[in-house]
Amino acid sequence: MVEETLDDVMAILHQHNIPLELEPSTRTGACGKITSLYIRDPDNNLIELANYPHK
Q: What residues are labeled active site?
A: 48
User: Could you give the CA distance from residue 45 to residue 18 in angstroms, rounded to a whole number?
Assistant: 14
Nearest Cα to Cα of residue 22 among 49, 55, 54: 49
